[in-house]
Structure 1
Amino acid sequence: MGVSGCGKSSVAQLLAKALGWTLHEGDSYHAPESVRKMQAGIPLTDDDRSLWLQDLARILGRATPATGIVLTCSALKRKYRDRLRAALPDAAVGFVFLDLDYATALQRVQQRPGHFFSPDLVANQFATLERPDGEDGVVGVDATLPLAEIVRRVTDWRAPALA
C-alpha cells in the first residue's frame, strides 16, 4: 500500500515469487471511468473507489492458508484497509506501507512511461493518505530501499504468520 510511485507493483512481483503466492495488480481492476478520470488528472472519490474495493475484497476472500494472495492497492485511507481486512475476518491480512516522500513519488510517476496515472494526482494522494502509523497488521518500509531489502523485511515480518 502507498501512494502512486512508491513501488507497489515492483515489490509485489518479487514478494509473490518469494512466497509462492498469486499476484493481483489492483490497478487492473479499476473501472474504465476511473481510469479516464485519473488520466485526466481528476482525483477519484470514495464513491469511485467503492466498487473497486469491493472487487479487491472479493479477490482477497478467495485466499486460503494454502493459497496466499499478494494484492497491490493504494489503500490510502484506514476505512479502505478495514474494508479489505473484512474480506478475511479470521485470517491475518497484512499491509506493507511503502513510505515515500512527495518529491520522490512525483519524480517516479513522471518517469513512468505508459501508465494511466497522471502526475497531477500525486499531491492529492498525499492529501488523502491516512498514514497507518501504529495500525495493527501494517509494517512500514522505506520505499527508497533496494527492492530485495524491502522484500526481505516483509518476509521476515510475515514469517510468524506463515508458520
Structure 2
Amino acid sequence: MKIWHGSALFPVTKEGEGIHETLRYWRKRFRQNRVELTAGSPNLTGGSYKDKNMPAPLMLVSHMMAYGSGNRKEVQKVLRKHIKSLGRKRAAGYGRIINIDCVEIADDWSIVKDGQAMRWLPDENGTRTQRVNPPYWNNTDRIKCCDVGDLWQF
C-alpha cells in the first residue's frame, strides 16, 4: 500500500501582511435540561458545573503551507474533500479554509527541510512524548520526539 506523508502546517506571510493573533471567549454553560444525568445536586458556583468564559485563541493568517509526498492530484482531491476547516470551534465558524492549492516541487521537505524537523520525529533527546503515526491524539505507543522546527539529523 502506498501512503503519503506530510509536514505540519506553517503560517506564511507575504510582503506587507502579518500574522495577527487575537483572543475570543466562548461561554461554557451548565445544560439544565441534562440535570437528571448528574449525581446529587450540582454546585453552580464552582467546580465543573460553573458557567465559565473559556478562551479561544485565534490566529488570523491568509496563507498556510505544508509539505507532503505523494501524487499531487490525489492529495489535492483528498484535502479538498475532507478538510473544510482547522482548529477548535470549527462548528462555530472558526478556522474556515477557502482554497487549497497543491504545487509540485523538486525536493521532498515533508520530513526535514534545511536540517529542521518539519513534523514530530523520533529523537532520544526529545522533550516531547508523542505518537508519530495517526491517531496522534491517542496516548498509546508514544515515544520521545523533537518538536517541529528543532534541528534534526538522520
TM-score by length of structure 1 reads 0.26
Structure with a larger share of its residues in helix: 1
What TM-score do the two structures reach when normalised by structure 2? Answer: 0.27
Greater RCO (Cα-Cα under 8 Å, separation 6 or more): 1
